[in-house]
Structure formats: structure tokens, C-alpha cells
Structure 1
Amino acid sequence: MTDDTDRHAAKMAKKKAARDKIMATKTEEKGLIIVHTGKGKGKSSAAFGMIFRCIAHQMPCAVVQFIKGGMSTGERDLILSRFSDACQFHTMGEGFTWETQDKSRDIEMAAAAWEKAKELIRDPEIRMVLLDEINIALRYDYLDVEEVVAFLKSEKPPMTHVVLTGRNAREPLIEAADLVTEMELVKHPFRSGVKAQKGVEF
């Protein structure tokens, strides 16, 4: 047993030394463009996790929801009731496009949401801005992806993080991003007839 313990300790010490060497080269700090996409669940959930981290670190942040309408969600209710001084929250959409069935109205609402997003991103006091479901608006060409990318590259303050969520992220946005995560769908209860449930989906 002693030999196994010693071998394990030596192996871990070697790993730690290698890891410390790698970490010593990572010295830059910058505001990131972060994309959460893919068919799997968790894109917005992970993004809101980062928003709550910012709140915990007393870093001012903001959320703009592009598609989701006025339905109550746990994240929005909690932020508005407990953390509205730390995080601005703007629900700009009126629901998914198959619910609204009004393309011109959807485009108008997406444009208004993007104007609010630009205002928030330009504010250097705000450290993170979450653009929830903006990828849906970009997918349906409610917004011009080249315009969004150009704005992020030219006008985002150096230390501001911007998180963009939603399926089918457009290639120009993926190329411009610093961090891209694709959520892969392996299994989902919806396919077995289970509806969206409080605390899991909203």
C-alpha cells in the first residue's frame, strides 16, 4: 500500500508541476465573446450561471432576452426581486416566432433588443452582457450577423464579456468568438412526452 501511495504522490506531483508551468504562461485578461449553441439543453442555463457569478463578485451585469416573451422564469424573477441593483434585465421579445406568427413584428422587436444590447455593451461599468437567444434572431435574419460581429469587434469595451446563446450560431459569430461551446443533445425527456418543468426548464 505504501508503494502505491508513493507512486500516486509522485505521479500527482509531476502532473502539478506540468500544470503549474502551463498556468504560468496564461497571464492575459480580456473581455470575452462567448457563444453557447447546439441542440442540447443548457445554453441559457450555463449563461445565467455566469451572470450569477458576476453578481456574486459584485460585477455589474445585464441580460437582454431576444426571443422569450413575458412568461415567468426563475432566473428573471430572482434577478428582478433580489439583484436588480446588480443586474439589469430586459425581456425584449414577445415569444418564439412560431408563437407570434408575425415576421415584421419579430424583426422590429429584435432590432429594439439589439439597440438595447448595444447601449448596455457600450457601458464600460457593465462587466458582462448576456444576449439570450440572439442566435435565433440571427438564424432567421431578423438581425444582420455581420453588423453584430462588427459591433462586438469595434465597440465592445476591452474588459466586457458578452455571452450569446441559442441554437444554430452563425459561422461569422463563431469565428469572432473567443469561447464557443456546443451543447450536444444525447437524450431529452420532451421526446418521451414530458413537458417543460419548473426548476429544470424555466
Structure 2
Amino acid sequence: MNDHNQRHQARMERKKALIDASIARADQEKGLLLVLTGNGKGKSSSAFGMVGRSLGHRMKVGVCQFLKSRTDTGEEAFFGQQTNCEWHVLGDGFTWETQSREQDITTAQHGWEVACQMLADPAYHLVVLDELTYLLNYGYLNADQVLDTLAARPPMQHVVVTGRAASPALCDLADTVSEIADVKHAFRSGIQAQKGIDL
């Protein structure tokens, strides 16, 4: 048993040395662009976790929810009450609900105008662009213009983009990309969306 403990300690010492060296090399500070994509559940939830972290540090946060039209979610009810959080629900519902490409484009462009105001303002430490990938993939917004705006934002502003099927160009621009896999989902078993989990 003592030999096992010694081997474990030696492994952890080597691991700590590697991690400490990596931390020492990370000497840059900048605003990050994070992309949370993939078919799994939790992309928006992860983004809202960063909203909570930022508010905990007394940072100003802006949230733009594209596509979604619900205003009764738990996250909006909570974060919308916070002094430093500006929350916008900018959609008319998912595309299968509106069934109007013209309406979706108009709504998307209006929502993007709201987002652009935040992306030009260094007072916002974090901007969440929830479900933005759909607006790019469906051609509701000009992808090149969106990428240019993201690249030109204030140097210390963090941005989180969520949504499925993030484009290669968006992922290339990002500093961090996480793909959330869909392994199993309660909805496919006939279970309704649950408050506190899905709403």
C-alpha cells in the first residue's frame, strides 16, 4: 500500500509541474470569443453559468436570445432582476413556429442591431449571443459582417455564441470551442420540458 501511495504522489508531482508550467506560459489577457455548439443539451446553460460568474465579479453583462420567444424562463426571471444584466428576448419562436422566412429575417436583423450596440460598447464585459448560429446557417444575417463585428469588438470584451452546427469560419475565429454531444435526452422518452432544468 505504501508503494502505491508513493507512485501516486510521484505522478501527481509530475502532473503539477506540467500544469504549473502551462499556467506560467499563459501570460496574455484578452477578451475571449467562446463558441458552444453541438447537438447536446447544455449550451445555453453553460453560457448562463458564465453570466452568473461575471455578475459575481460585478461585471456588466448583455444577453441576446435569438429565435427564442419565451419570456417565462427561469434564467430570465433570475438574471433579468440583476442590476448589471441587460436581457433581450429577440426572437419570434423557432423557424417551424413562424413558418415565414421573411419574418425570420426581419426579426433576426432587428435582433442583430441590438447585439451590435453591445458589441461596440466596452462597458459590457460579457455578451451572450444565444442561438446565433442558426441565424448564420439559415442566411438570415450576413455571416461575413457578423464575423467582422465579432472581431472588431472591444479588446477586453468576452462573447459567448451558442447554437448547433457552428460554422468552420466562426470556430476558426473563436478562442475556445466546445462541442456538446447528444448521448441521451429525456424528451425522446416523452418527458416534458421541466422547470428548473429546461425552462
TM-score > 0.5, shorter chain as reference: yes
Matches within 5 A, 1:28-177: 28-81=28-81, 83=82, 85-153=83-151, 155-177=152-174
In 2, Cα distance between equivalents of 1:70 and 1:39: 21
**Residue 27 in structure 1 maps to residue 63 in structure 2:** no
Task: Tell me the SS of whatever aligns to 2:195.
Answer: coil
Residues 90 and 71 (structure 1), Cα distance of their counterparts in 2 relative to 1, 3 Å cut:
closer
Give the drift of 1:3.
Answer: 3.1
Task: Say whether the 8 Å CA contact 2:38–2:179 is kept in structure 1.
Answer: yes
* Residues 29-60 of structure 1 deviation map (CA, whole Å, 9 limit, x = unaligned): 11111111111101101011111110111111
Task: Tell me the SS of whatever aligns to 1:30.
Answer: coil
Task: Give the aligned partner of residue 191 of structure 1.
Answer: 188
Give the drift of 1:194.
Answer: 1.2
In 1, Cα distance between equivalents of 2:172 and 2:54: 25
Give the TM-score normalised by the residue count of structure 2: 0.95
Task: Tell me the SS of whatever aligns to 1:93.
Answer: coil
Give the drift of 1:182.
Answer: 1.0
Amino acid at match of 1:45: S
Name the Cα RMSD after superposition: 1.2
Amino acid at match of 1:65: Q
Task: Say whether the 8 Å CA contact 1:146–1:172 is kept in structure 2.
Answer: no
* Residues 166-189 of structure 1 deviation map (CA, whole Å, 9 limit, x = unaligned): 111122111111111111111111
Give ranges in structure 1 of 5+ residues lacking alignment: none
Task: Say whether the 8 Å CA contact 2:71–2:89 is kept in structure 1.
Answer: no
Amino acid at match of 1:147: Q
Task: Say whether the 8 Å CA contact 1:60–1:125 is kept in structure 2.
Answer: yes
Give ranges in structure 2 of 5+ residues lacking alignment: none
Give the drift of 1:2.
Answer: 3.0
In 2, Cα distance between equivalents of 1:43 and 1:11: 34
21-30 vs 7-16, which moves further: 7-16
In 1, Cα distance between equivalents of 2:8 and 2:167: 46
Give the drift of 1:5.
Answer: 2.5
Amino acid at match of 1:64: C
Task: Say whether the 8 Å CA contact 1:145–1:170 is kept in structure 2.
Answer: no
Residues 17 and 199 (structure 1), Cα distance of their counterparts in 2 relative to 1, 3 Å cut:
same
**Residue 11 in structure 1 maps to residue 11 in structure 2:** yes
